[in-house]
């Protein structure tokens, strides 16, 4: 019942905040967000799941209740957490609290609605990560879109409408495609349920039959591609990424934290859950082209980031190569590849948030985020500078922070992947770490070093405002020093894949 | 052995604690930080030094050990665990003594260089030094390649931190970026190599029967099978060795990745001493020594190491000939000297290479600290042509600097003579033993000896001899005690440390005076694979490097003649009251040398002439083509752009209505498609 409790508490909190007076909405939201945070940490501590939720494992906090029946297909209320979803639920709760605290002083009007939408997003995200029934999952998946759209469209920067509409339309088209693809797949299998485990089992055991005038293998292939397209848009793999820089840049910082930190993870998480888990043969077969797409995403995204002059837009682009690494690890289908992909999702969520928060602090203090207008802030904003340095180096893969761990696991798993030329492909993707260092060092040099120049006087933020970013840095260091704390559960959940794929590193 | 492990773990942890103290106390209560963090740093490095010496003695008493300290990732799913540990053997014990010793002296020297000069940002400075020292110590003690890489990168991060200390100036800011970026480029190859090692062997351990060098040896002997991804094992091991070498070339500033190092002179001089003598630059070649059991298996990789080393030794020495600034001369001499270490290691001379690493750490720390004292006396003017006559102004520094210069130039009996000749002798014997490429590398190294003698004494004469050539030089003050004492200690060491291995006199005095060789030879109970003796067997048996018989005395006399020729030329040209720049006679060649063969221009062009336009092209392509398609598709569909504008009323309820409407339509379409109605 823990998952239901988390969902209920968060949804109720969202409505409570919506009704709260604007003056107190922020404080109330911050306090209320601690409830799901503590709840998720409790879930982490009390986690007793084993194996993979879709591959015969026993998820923790599982509930199955028959819900409705659509055209002869059972839709259940089926939720539960395994080693892959648990870290993402904790990440969601952590980043929501961070976003709410970081919103202090950021948001001018309609505050109650703003905080309510953040909490609504959190609840929906927890739903996405814990749902084990396709229909339920899809409802939560679409639920995320609504508050996210409003948060960008109402509270965003000058081009917020364009960014919000683009985000909404693009990801909604993607949702539609994946929905149709999955339903098609279910229709072509003998299962009479939308339960993810049941469908996965049916597809893997070759129970797919021809349907809609297509052969069985065509149905599987089309469903695979439809799902992949849907998740690729959400994860912003190149060339489906162009909604991302606009949405990230136009959204206010707290929203960007959630958007970059968790919402893109919906795509990569679902990629693992659906494409990799359900179609091991196709993943094997298409590993090379998909890995090449990962390489393209990494190198293209890095190069595009190198050309940015707006610090926030630059950080937005840095997300693209990181998601490429997740894809690289996922298609490797090895222990370290899959576990690394999951770990990298968490790590990226933390570090990209640190960077966005730091850029937000700089913008608040100076009134600009154009790199060429900033200079020499290191000693004027010492804590902000420290946070920016920590975030940037963490992002570059400085060891003993989580970023290195995630990338290293992915590289280790990918290098030994069974598809042809995996070594060369991995090495090519790894070159991203050099380019990333290039543009982030330039960002640091431009903003922090050199003679002191800023358009206006600089007012450092209070320690309380900076606390969320500092906390995320410490969390990232903790996970970098002791990745085993997460990797234990993750590897347990990944083990079932590895058994399916026949072993590997 | 638990107490040994705990004590050795403390060697890097104590400076790390000093880093935290400087960082946190420096931020929250700067006044409470004694000497801006210098005293905690001095105390920490002193404790590390004591512990290191104790560890050294423990190893001497047969206490070499490898132990596991931390499980980074537990093993699961038939895959391997990733762990951190400690490898305490003769090599690492020697290295931690050198690192903590140099770091202690650098901390003390900084009192004079930074504190007394009223520099700001002291807490930041000493925090950086503490982390730098801690990272290097943890690197030296690493028990596997992953851990080594982790601390290798932290060393790189600290170099960014410290080189960029004076961040207001454009020079240090760029130099810091360049140092990290160029070494990161090398580390990229190292990381690929590391991942490859894990993929091949399932372990990255350095020592023991289950270590990857041991597995590689067994695989070559046909006694074990490892996954070489379809490549012939010998070739694959060579590839892995060369990939790892990429990181070495970056950090140890070997050709073609040496360009960051001269720029790194923008950092405070004590930092230069630490970077060059004992930490960052040393880390590269130390990794080769650490992995010697692996490199000794592949003659190709060894030859590449020797060639890169020999070439870099000569190449860097030519650029040092014409520099005006004292720290620039030293920077190029560092590159050149690490070339010798590479040459020694690459020609199979493990002991010779480690020996030169040891002596170089001593005399290069000395020369940098001496130069630092000179720079303070000159009020941060580093141009040697404005110095002159300083030997009367600062005699202690002069005599110590002279000792270091004699060591650098390789003049008997100073430290560099013994170690450089051990390197050259080894390269010569292997070269004559049927390795023409190694012989070629030797010849480059030999020519560089003459250049070294010349540039070193050009520097000494221009700085300390003759008449003062500026007001500042005329009024220079003697160095303060906190700078003099470390310089003097190192001055004595530079004179005598070479006596730990008087290799050329082997024929005269026998094996008695080869302390270092005996130290590295072991025997090591339980770690037989980490002894110099074992490495030598591998080099001969597996790599097939056989040495011809050449008398060490002959080789030593030859290189001594080369060195003295260089010194003599410098003497005649520059040890005069009013020297003039004789290298001007080189004409356009001098311009090329002075501009470092335009390599910096080449690398800048790679960054701004190739990468940046490419990035901009990607950006334009992204906005016009990729995004253009997206916008084009959307504008031809239902949501035409003009209609979009009309429905954007800005009222939240409108949006919500649209969204709900959209969702309903979406569901209806889906359900219709699904055939449920």
- A96 pLDDT more than 90: yes
CB-based contact, A404 to chain B, within 8 Å: yes
Nearest CB to A150: which of B618, B648, B652? Answer: B652
Average pLDDT in the A349-377 region?
Answer: 88
User: A399, A448, A494: best mutation site toward chain B, by most B Cβ within 10 Å?
Assistant: A399
Return the residue of B nearest to A73 by Cα. B676
What pLDDT band is residue B640 in, cutting at 50, 70 and 90?
A: very low
Question: Which of residues B605 and B676 earns the better pLDDT score?
Answer: B605
Range in A61-75, A150-164, A296-310, B582-596 with the lowest mean pLDDT: B582-596
Map tokens 């020499």 to a residue: A376
What pLDDT band is residue B664 in, cutting at 50, 70 and 90?
A: low
> Does pTM surpass 0.80?
yes
- B12 pLDDT more than 90: yes
Contacts of A457 (CB under 8 A, 6+ apart): none
- B642 pLDDT more than 60: no
What pLDDT band is residue B661 in, cutting at 50, 70 and 90?
A: low
Contact A399 B149 (CB under 8 A): yes
Whole-angstrom Cα distance, residue B248 to residue B258? 11
Contact B655 A433 (CB under 8 A): no
- A426 pLDDT more than 90: yes
Question: What confidence score (pLDDT) does residue B638 get?
Answer: 43
What pLDDT band is residue A72 in, cutting at 50, 70 and 90?
A: confident
Q: What is the mean pLDDT of chain B?
A: 85
- A455 pLDDT more than 60: no
Nearest CB to B173: which of A404, A435, A449? Answer: A449
| Domain locations along chain B | 299-581, 602-673
Question: What confidence score (pLDDT) does residue B235 get?
Answer: 92
- A154 pLDDT more than 70: yes
What pLDDT band is residue B376 in, cutting at 50, 70 and 90?
A: confident
Range in A469-478, B421-430, B474-483 with the lowest mean pLDDT: B474-483
Contact between A264 and A481 under an 8 Å Cβ cutoff? The reply is no
- Is the omega angle on the peptide bond into residue A295 within 30 degrees of 0, that is, cis? no
Q: How far, CA to CA in Å, does B112 sit from each of A7, B269, B369, B472, B481?
A: 62, 11, 11, 19, 8
Q: Give A 2-61 residues with CB within 8 A of chain B.
A: none
Question: What confidence score (pLDDT) does residue B677 get?
Answer: 46
Instruction: Give the distance from residue A71's alpha carbon to the nearest chain B alpha carbon, in angstroms.
Output: 6
Contact between A275 and A283 under an 8 Å Cβ cutoff? The reply is yes
User: A158, A188, A211, A441: best mutation site toward chain B, by most B Cβ within 10 Å?
Assistant: A441
A–B: how many Cβ contacts below 8 A? 203
Of the ranges A277-286, A415-424, A471-480, which is most confident? A471-480
* Percent of chain A clearing pLDDT 70 (strictly above): 98
Contact between A445 and B173 under an 8 Å Cβ cutoff? The reply is yes
Range in A293-297, B38-42, B383-387 with the lowest mean pLDDT: B383-387
Using an 8 Å CB-CB cutoff, list chain B residues near A433.
Answer: 184, 188, 191
Whole-angstrom Cα distance, residue A169 to residue B602? 46
Q: Give the pair of three-digit tokens for residue A380.
A: 């004027």
Contact between B212 and B201 under an 8 Å Cβ cutoff? The reply is yes
Range in A387-401, B139-153, B283-297, B461-475 with the lowest mean pLDDT: B461-475
Instruction: Give the distance from residue A440's alpha carbon to the nearest chain B alpha carbon, in angstroms.
Output: 10
Whole-angstrom Cα distance, residue A422 to residue B641? 43
Contact B150 A404 (CB under 8 A): yes
Whole-angstrom Cα distance, residue B65 to residue B644? 72
Contact between B85 and B469 under an 8 Å Cβ cutoff? The reply is no
Using an 8 Å CB-CB cutoff, list chain B residues near A335.
Answer: 76-79
Give the relative orientation of helices B326-346 and B280-290 as an angle to the nearest 10 degrees: 0
């Amino acid at each position: 019942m823990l998952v239901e409790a988390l969902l209920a508490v968060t949804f109720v909190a969202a409505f409570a905040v919506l009704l709260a007076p604007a003056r107190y909405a922020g404080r109330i939201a911050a306090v209320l967000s601690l409830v799901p945070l503590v709840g998720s940490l409790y879930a982490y501590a009390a986690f007793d799941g084993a194996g993979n939720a879709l591959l015969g494992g026993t998820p923790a906090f599982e509930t199955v209740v028959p819900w409705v029946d659509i055209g002869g297909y059972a839709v259940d209320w089926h939720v539960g957490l395994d080693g892959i979803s648990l870290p993402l639920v904790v990440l969601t709760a952590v980043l929501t609290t961070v976003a709410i605290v970081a919103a202090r002083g950021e948001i001018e009007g309609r505050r109650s609605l703003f905080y309510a939408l953040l909490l609504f997003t959190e609840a929906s995200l927890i739903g996405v990560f814990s749902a084990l029934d396709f229909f339920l999952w899809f409802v939560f998946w679409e639920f995320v879109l609504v508050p996210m759209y409003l948060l960008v469209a109402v509270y965003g920067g000058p081009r917020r409408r364009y960014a919000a509409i683009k985000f909404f339309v693009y990801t909604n088209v993607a949702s539609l495609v994946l929905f149709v693809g999955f339903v098609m797949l279910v229709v072509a299998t003998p299962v009479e349920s939308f339960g993810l485990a049941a469908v996965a089992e049916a597809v893997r055991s070759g129970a797919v039959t021809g349907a809609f005038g297509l052969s069985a293998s065509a149905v599987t292939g089309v469903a695979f591609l439809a799902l992949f397209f849907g998740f690729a848009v959400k994860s912003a793999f190149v060339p489906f990424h162009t909604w991302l820089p606009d949405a990230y840049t136009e959204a206010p910082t707290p929203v960007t934290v959630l958007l970059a930190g968790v919402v893109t993870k919906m795509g990569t998480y679902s990629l693992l859950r659906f494409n990799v888990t359900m179609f091991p043969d196709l993943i094997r077969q298409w590993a090379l082209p998909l890995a090449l797409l990962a390489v393209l995403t990494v190198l293209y995204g890095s190069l595009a980031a190198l050309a940015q002059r707006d610090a926030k837009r630059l950080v937005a682009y840095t997300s693209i190569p990181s998601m490429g690494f997740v894809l690289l690890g996922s298609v490797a289908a090895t222990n370290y590849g899959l576990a690394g992909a999951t770990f990298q999702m968490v790590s990226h969520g933390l570090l990209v948030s640190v960077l966005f928060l730091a850029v937000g602090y700089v913008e608040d203090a100076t009134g600009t985020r154009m790199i060429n207008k900033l200079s020499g802030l290191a000693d004027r904003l010492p804590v902000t500078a420290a946070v920016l340095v920590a975030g940037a180096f963490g992002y570059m893969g400085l060891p003993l922070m989580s970023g290195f761990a995630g990338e290293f696991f992915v590289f280790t798993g990918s290098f030994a992947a069974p598809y042809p030329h995996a070594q060369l492909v991995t090495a090519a993707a790894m070159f991203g770490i050099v380019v990333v260092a290039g543009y982030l060092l330039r960002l640091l040099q431009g903003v922090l070093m050199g003679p002191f120049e800023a358009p206006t006087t600089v007012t450092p933020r209070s320690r309380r405002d900076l606390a969320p970013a500092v906390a995320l840095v410490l969390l990232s260091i903790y996970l970098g020093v002791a990745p085993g704390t997460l990797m234990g559960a993750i590897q347990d959940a990944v083990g079932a894949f590895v058994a399916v794929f026949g072993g590997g590193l | 052995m638990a107490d040994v492990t705990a004590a050795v773990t403390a060697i890097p942890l104590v400076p790390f604690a000093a880093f935290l103290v400087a960082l946190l106390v420096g931020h929250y209560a700067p006044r409470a930080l004694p000497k801006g963090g210098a005293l905690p740093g001095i105390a920490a490095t002193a404790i590390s030094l004591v512990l290191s010496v104790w560890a050294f003695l423990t190893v001497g008493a047969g206490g070499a050990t490898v132990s596991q300290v931390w499980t980074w990732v537990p093993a699961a799913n038939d895959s391997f665990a990733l762990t951190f540990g400690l490898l305490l053997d003769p090599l690492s014990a020697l290295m931690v003594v050198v690192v903590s010793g140099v770091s202690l002296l650098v901390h003390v020297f900084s009192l004079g260089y930074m504190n007394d000069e009223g520099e700001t940002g002291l807490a930041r400075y000493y925090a950086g030094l503490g982390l730098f020292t801690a990272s290097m110590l943890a690197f030296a003690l690493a028990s596997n390649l992953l851990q080594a890489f982790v601390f290798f990168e932290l060393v790189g991060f600290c170099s960014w931190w410290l080189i960029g200390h004076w961040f207001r100036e454009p020079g240090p800011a760029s130099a810091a970026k360049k140092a990290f970026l160029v070494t990161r480029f090398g580390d990229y190859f190292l990381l690929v190599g590391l991942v490859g090692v894990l993929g091949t062997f399932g372990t990255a351990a350095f020592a023991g029967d289950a270590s990857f060098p041991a597995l590689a040896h067994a695989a070559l002997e046909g006694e074990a099978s490892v996954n070489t991804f379809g490549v012939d094992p010998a070739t694959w091991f060579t590839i892995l060795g060369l990939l790892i070498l990429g990181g070495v070339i970056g950090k140890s500033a070997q050709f073609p990745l040496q360009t960051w190092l001269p720029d790194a002179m923008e950092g405070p001089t004590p930092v230069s001493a630490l970077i060059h003598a004992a930490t960052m630059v040393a880390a590269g070649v130390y990794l080769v020594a650490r992995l010697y059991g692996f490199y000794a298996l592949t003659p190709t990789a060894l030859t590449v190491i020797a060639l890169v080393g020999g070439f870099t030794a000569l190449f860097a020495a030519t650029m040092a000939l014409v520099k005006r600034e004292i720290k620039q001369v030293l920077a190029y001499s560092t590159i050149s000297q690490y070339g010798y270490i590479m040459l020694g290691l690459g020609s199979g001379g493990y002991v010779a290479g480690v020996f030169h690493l040891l002596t170089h750490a001593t005399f290069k720390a000395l020369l940098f600290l001496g130069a630092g004292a000179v720079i303070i006396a000159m009020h941060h003017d580093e141009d040697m042509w404005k110095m002159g006559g300083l030997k009367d102004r600062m005699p202690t520094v002069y005599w110590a600097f002279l000792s270091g210069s004699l060591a650098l130039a390789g003049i008997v009996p100073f430290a560099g003579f013994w170690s450089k000749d051990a390197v050259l002798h080894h390269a010569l014997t292997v070269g004559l033993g049927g390795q023409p490429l190694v012989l070629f590398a030797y010849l480059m190294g030999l020519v560089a000896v003459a250049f070294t003698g010349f540039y070193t004494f050009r520097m000494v004469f221009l700085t300390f001899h003759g008449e003062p050539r500026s007001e500042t030089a005329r009024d220079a003050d003697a160095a303060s005690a906190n700078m003099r004492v470390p310089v003097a200690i190192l001055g004595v060491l530079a004179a005598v440390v070479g006596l730990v291995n008087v290799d050329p006199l082997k024929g005269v005095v026998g094996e008695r005076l080869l302390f270092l060789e005996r130290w590295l030879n072991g025997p090591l109970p339980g770690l037989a694979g980490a002894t110099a003796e074992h490495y030598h067997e591998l080099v001969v048996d597996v790599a097939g490097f056989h040495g011809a018989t050449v008398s060490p005395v002959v080789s030593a006399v030859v290189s001594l003649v080369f060195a003295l020729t260089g010194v003599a030329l410098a003497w005649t040209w520059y040890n005069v009251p009013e020297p003039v720049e004789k290298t001007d006679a080189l004409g356009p060649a001098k311009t090329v040398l002075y501009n470092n063969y335009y390599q910096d221009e080449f690398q800048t062009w790679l960054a701004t002439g190739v990468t940046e336009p490419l990035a901009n092209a990607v950006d334009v392509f992204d906005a016009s083509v990729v995004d253009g398609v997206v916008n084009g598709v959307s504008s031809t569909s239902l949501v035409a752009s003009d209609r979009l504008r009309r429905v954007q009323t800005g009222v939240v309820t409108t949006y919500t209505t649209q969204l709900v409407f959209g969702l309903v339509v979406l569901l209806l379409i889906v359900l219709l498609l699904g055939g449920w109605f």
